[in-house]
Amino acid sequence: MLDILSLQEEKKDLQTKINSNPENPDVPVLRAMLVSTNIQIAANKTSVRKEVAAKGSTVKKTTFPSYAKLVHSSNGKRYRQRRIVARKKTDKITPRDFHFIDRVYVKLFNGEEWIVDLASLDRPYEDVMARRLAPSWSIVPFVDLYYEVRNIRTFKNKVIAKRQNPGHELRYQEGYCPASLGL
């Protein structure tokens, strides 16, 4: 790219040629050249400003959310409405993953607590079985409880997964995933 001084000299030279002989048939071509020279000068000035700012920049850059728009409400106030960030699909517990969970407490929406521990069950079962804690101590396949589960906890009482409402997805809590649980 040409430096600004040579472009300014070229601009002055074109101005003098246009002003010295206005009846010359080459004047429209010279004016077009003058316009392109002005554009190059403006482009060089903005690029120089950006370079200077980039070299000595200690100013913290602010990042804006990916999607936000101003919305007017009926009472005249303005507020920002932001898009809800989609959760990863890996944080859901599917019924297929449910087969591999072991050594946990499970609480249902109706208040019942169940325990899943393959080693504590006396007889071998084909499926992973869950045992209800007092009073009846009944045993059912763990997969049958999938849609009723409210939360899943370890034996140290750390929550692994939660479901907010009966119709919502069962999701791993932050910091837990199938890899960390050894599934």
Beta strands 68-72 and 159-162, pairing class: unpaired
pTM for this structure? 0.49
Q: What is the pLDDT of residues 73-118, one digit of tens each?
A: 666 555 555 555 555 556 788 888 777 788 889 999 999 999 988 7
Tallying the residues shown for the chain, one arrives at 183
How far is Cα 114 from Cα 156, in angstroms, rounded to an integer? Answer: 15
Q: What is the DSSP string of 90-103?
A: GGBPPHHHHTT--S
Tokens of 165: 């409402």
Distance between CA atoms of residues 100 and 156, nearest Å: 19
Task: Report pLDDT digits (tens) over 116-129.
Answer: 887 766 666 777 88
In 3-state terms, what secondary structure has residue 76? coil
C-alpha–C-alpha distance, residues 114 and 105, integer Å: 6
Residue 57: predicted pLDDT: 53
Give the CA count within 13 Å in the CB-facing half-sphere of 103.
8
Q: What is the pLDDT of residues 11-43, one digit of tens each?
A: 888 888 888 887 888 888 888 888 888 888 877
